[in-house]
Structure 1
Amino acid sequence: MILVDSHCHLYADQFNEDRDQVLEAAIKSGVKKIILPNIDRDSVNPMHELSNRYPENCFPMMGLHPCSVKENFRNELDFHKNLLYQNLDQYVGVGEIGIDLYWDKSTLNEQKIAFKEQCNWAIDLDLPIAIHVRDSFNEVFECLDEIDTSKLKGVFHCFSGNKEQAQKALSYPNFILGIGGVVTFKNSKLGATLTEFVPKEKLVVETDSPYLTPHPHRGKRNSPEYIPLIAQKLADLYLCSEEEIAEISTNNIKRMFPKVFNNDI
């Protein structure tokens, strides 16, 4: 059984003291590959250091996170675009991109511009995207509806929406849902939404480490070694085996992020 953490910030400062041990624990738990979404220019070097050190396990994306879209976002977009286009072989996707209205609503217009522009990079380069959606489903859908989504593919990262949002997200032909620790929370309604309205074939598993730690470790630092907890919860919900969830998720990664498996026999 091979598991992939489809969204993990293992390069973050929270892992500075034990990053190697965390990765070793993840591999022992069956998580052989980890996709690393970028945040901003400050995360680029730590992310590259990690992926260069573990080229068979850690795979970087390139993009500008919506919470890092500020007054100078044009300069930041240029910086990230140059990295992406000049080092295309290094990156498996464009991300983490999207819209976040939880922390700052005042930058909505700038976030929309940045999101759509980065989507166009992905179309141009035939790369998948990882979409960050926080208090912003309507705004994200509005942006996607202005783009030729027949040529765009990717993952709705950390999906925790309702029935209508799930159905709208999956109405885009080349998108799937990233499911993380939220599905294990005792009061979460996500499990019911998924089993009633989302085929398990449309899912990938993720941690978003160091955030959104699954039960029973909620409140502590998240880790990619907890991916099996998410896979097992989905197996319980869909009345299937953890191995089936792992196979579905990993096969979706192979289709969506082929560079992650390019060097595998």
Structure 2
Amino acid sequence: MILADSHAHVYSEQFKADRDDMLNRAYQAGVETIFMPNIDHSSIDGMLETEARFPNQCYPMMGLHPCSVGKHFEKQLYEVEEWLGKRPFAAVGECGIDLYWDKTHLAEQQEALRIQISLAKQHNLPLVLHTRDAFRETADLITAAQDGSLRGVFHCFSGSAAEAEEVIKLGFKLGIGGVATFKNGGLDKTLPGIGLEHLLLETDCPYLAPMPHRGKRNEPAYLPLIAQRVADILQQDVQLIAEATTRNTKELFGASK
């Protein structure tokens, strides 16, 4: 079973002691392709170093996470723009709106997302969207900007069936992670009826480990657990889930990956 992890922070300091072993475990588990979302200026070096060490497995994105957006976010976005002009990246991200912890900088987060939407259009790259307690705010900005050229994924999707349909109508994919394995995660009610062509799999490691590892450090080697849970929900063979989601991920982020 060959899988692609569409969203994994494998450059994280949480993997400092065993990064090589962790990525080897991923490969042995069939996770041959891993896409790395950027957080902010502090994560770029580690992300690119991970790519340099594992160039055929790990592929970087470039963006500014909404939780890193403050009053003076423009400087960080200049750096994002500069990097996008210097070399290839798989996507613009992760970016979006997060109102879970703090709503103080909603206006700044909205403006930062608008700028990154523009960068995605300019560089013909997909967007990787982080939305936490902010689906409506994020979807409204995407709707306003969608001219047929925008594509991407609502990562770590855990919304309702109606929200899933809205994402699909916007031309975006649904990133399905460890929440699918949680008893009260809700995706068992959302996913039935959603075509496989709209789904990507992700770990979002080191966060959101699937059952039975919930609460522990997550890693890409756990992606087969998510694939199996999606297969169970959809009453499909897990191999079919793996093939479809891997194909979708590679098509979204670049056929050469």
TM range (shorter): over 0.9
Provide the C-alpha distance between the structure 1 equivalents of 2:75 and 2:22, rounded to a whole number of angstroms: 34
Residue 207 of structure 1 corresponds to 203
- Separation of aligned partners in 1, 2:255 and 2:54: 15
In structure 2, the residue matched to 1:176 is 173
Residues 1:121 and 2:87 are matched in the alignment: no
Q: Which residue of 2 aligns with 1:36?
A: 36
The 2-side partners of 1:254 and 1:8 are apart by 15
Looking at structure 2, the residues matched to 232 and 141 of structure 1 have their Cα atoms a distance apart, in angstroms, of 29
1:61 and 1:11 map into 2 onto residues whose CA distance is 12
Q: Deviations over 1:182-241 (max 9, x none)?
A: 000012211211114x22221010000000000011010001000000000011111111
CA distance in 1, matches of 2:32, 2:153: 20
After superposition, where does 1:6-25 map in structure 2 within 5 Å?
6-25=6-25
Equivalent residues of 1:200, 1:238 under 8 A apart: no
Partner of 1:226: 222
1:131 to 121, 129, 132: 129
Structure 1 Cα separation of the partners of residues 144 and 19 of structure 2? 40
Within the alignment, does 1:192 sit opposite 2:220 as a pair?
A: no
Paired residue type of 2:239? E
Secondary structure at 1:96 match in 2: strand
1:7-62 superposed Cα distances (whole Å, 9 cap, x missing partner): 00010111111111100000000000100000000000000000011000000000
Task: Say whether the 8 Å CA contact 2:95–2:113 is kept in structure 1.
Answer: yes
TM-score by length of 2: 0.98
**Structure 1 letter corresponding to 2:45:** N
Q: What is the one-letter code of the residue matched to 2:64? A: L
Flag structure 1 segments of 5+ consecutive residues without an equivalent. Answer: none
Q: Does the aligned pair in 2 maintain the 1:101–1:135 contact within 8 Å?
A: yes
Aligned to 1:242: 238
> Are the equivalent residues in 1 in contact too, given 2:146–2:170 (CA < 8 A)?
no
Aligned to 1:256: 252
Deviations 1:100-130 (A, max 9, x none): 0001101000000100110111111111111
Q: Secondary structure at the match of 1:151?
A: coil
Contact 2:62 2:84 in 1 (8 A): yes
RMSD: 1.0
Task: Report the Cα distance in structure 2 between the residues aligned to 1:191 and 1:207, rounded to whole angstroms.
Answer: 18
Matches within 5 A, 1:146-165: 146-165=144-163
Query: How much does 1:260 deviate?
Result: 5.1
* CA deviations over 1:162-199 (Å, ceiling 9, x no partner): 122111111112x1100000000012211211114x22
Q: Which amino acid aligns with 1:183?
A: A
Query: 1:67: how far off?
Result: 0.3
Say whether residues 1:60 and 2:60 are aligned partners: yes
The offset of 1:247, in angstroms, is 0.6
Cα offset, 1:254, TM superposition: 2.1
Question: Which runs of no fewer than 5 residues in structure 2 stay unpaired?
Answer: none
- In the TM superposition, residue 259 of structure 1 has moved relative to its aligned partner by 5.5
After TM superposition, the score normalised by the length of structure 1 is: 0.95
CA-CA distance at 1:149 after TM superposition: 4.2
Q: Any conservation in 2 of the 1:92–1:260 contact (CA below 8 Å)?
A: no
Residue identity in the other structure for 2:143 = D
